């Protein structure tokens, strides 16, 4: 089984997956959501099912002082709704999901800044960042969770 990292964005939801040994996170694409990342549920459920995801790590966009603003509250609602949707899927007789992955939130402050820096370091022009920055942020979120889990 693997872990799934999620960076919720208003235009795209970035995804990252771990390797089976839970040591490295790698980009796994974006889901276009056009202003409402609640639209991403079906595709996220497909990834959870297809990859047999054991743990879902969702970025929590705290403000710089550590408090929760509107975005963090929306991320909490999304995470709670994902858990409810997974439970409903498990109860469905036709569902192929027969396990309940753990779901956790992790502070994602500065992950987008870090993602842009990493993309610049990789010689990717700033115009091309938009298409990959959300999944790179998801990589940072997931890698942080993997490192914490190893400690």
The answer to whether 115 and 133 are in contact (CB under 8 A) is: yes
Domain count, the chain: 1
**Structural domain containing residue 7:** 2-150
For residue 56, give the CATH number of its domain.
Answer: 3.30.420.140
Instruction: Dump pLDDT digits (tens) for 46-85.
Output: 999 999 999 999 999 988 788 888 989 999 999 999 999 9
Distance (Å, whole) CA 108 – CA 140: 8
What's the pLDDT score for residue 77? Answer: 95
Per residue in 20-32, is it b (16+ CB within 10 Å) or e — as a string?
eebeebebbbbbe
Q: What value does the mean pLDDT of the chain take?
A: 85
Cβ(18)–Cβ(150) below 8 Å: no
Residue 115 has pLDDT above 70, yes or no: no
């Amino acid at each position: 089984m693997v872990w799934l990292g999620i960076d919720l964005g208003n235009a795209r939801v970035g995804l990252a997956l771990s390797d089976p040994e839970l040591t490295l996170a790698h980009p796994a694409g974006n889901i276009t959501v056009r202003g409402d990342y609640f639209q991403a549920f079906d595709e996220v459920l497909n990834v959870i099912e297809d990859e047999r995801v054991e743990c879902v790590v969702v970025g929590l966009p705290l403000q710089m002082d550590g408090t929760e603003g509107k975005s963090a509250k929306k991320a909490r609602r999304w995470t709670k709704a994902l858990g409810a949707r997974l439970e409903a899927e498990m109860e469905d007789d036709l569902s192929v999901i027969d396990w309940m992955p753990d779901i956790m939130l992790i502070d994602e402050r500065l992950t987008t800044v870090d993602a842009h820096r990493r993309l610049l370091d990789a010689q990717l022009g700033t115009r091309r960042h938009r298409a990959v920055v959300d999944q790179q942020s998801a990589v940072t979120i997931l890698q942080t969770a993997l490192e914490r889990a190893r400690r």
